[in-house]
Amino acid sequence: MNKALWLCSDRFYTDNLAKDHQLGKNKYLDDAIRWLDLYFEGKKPNFLPKLHLIGTTFQKQVWQALLKIPYGEVTTYKKIAEEVAGQADHLPIRAVGGAVGRNHIALIVPCHRVISSHGDLTGYSGGIDKKIQLLQLEGIDISKFSLPANYK
């Protein structure tokens, strides 16, 4: 059974949702809820719930790189591309952006901590306003980043 955690404004949230999905509880969901409760209390969770990442090999490599971004810090798409591709001449920065956007376990796999190399707050499928709120919750000063021109 596929599992996901997303914001309802996420444009890809139903990609892995089975037609016959059911609501329920289990120890894995209980751990995820405990993690989320700590996170939304403004605390750094000291554990990672068990995850079952479903995607291509490349996507999983990107998502593993996301899991390494420390709470309260950001990284860039370029740095993730360098980590995933190694010392390759051609860095798959756009492909990394696509994989980051296809992350189906939002918040726990922290795609909101990724910014452009120029310091732009871009590329959050849950919405830039949510990205800003999550970064601020983690104590990140967003004033040092550029906001999209259409952000109010």
Q: Which of 66, 99, 111, 135 is catalytic?
A: 111
Q: Which residue has the tokens 């809820």?
A: 33
What is the token pair recorded at 99? 């994989």
Say how far residue 106 (Cα) sits from the centre of its chain: 5
Which DSSP helix (H) or strand (E) runs through 115? strand 114-115
User: Would you put residue 107 in left (φ > 0), alpha (ψ -120 to 50) or beta?
Assistant: left
Is 111 marked active-site? yes
Residue 58 phi, psi dihedral angles, 5° rounding: -60, -45
Task: Report how far residue 15's alpha carbon sits from residue 4's, in angstroms, rounded to the nearest whole number.
Answer: 10
105 has which bridge partners? 5
- Which are the catalytic amino acids? 111
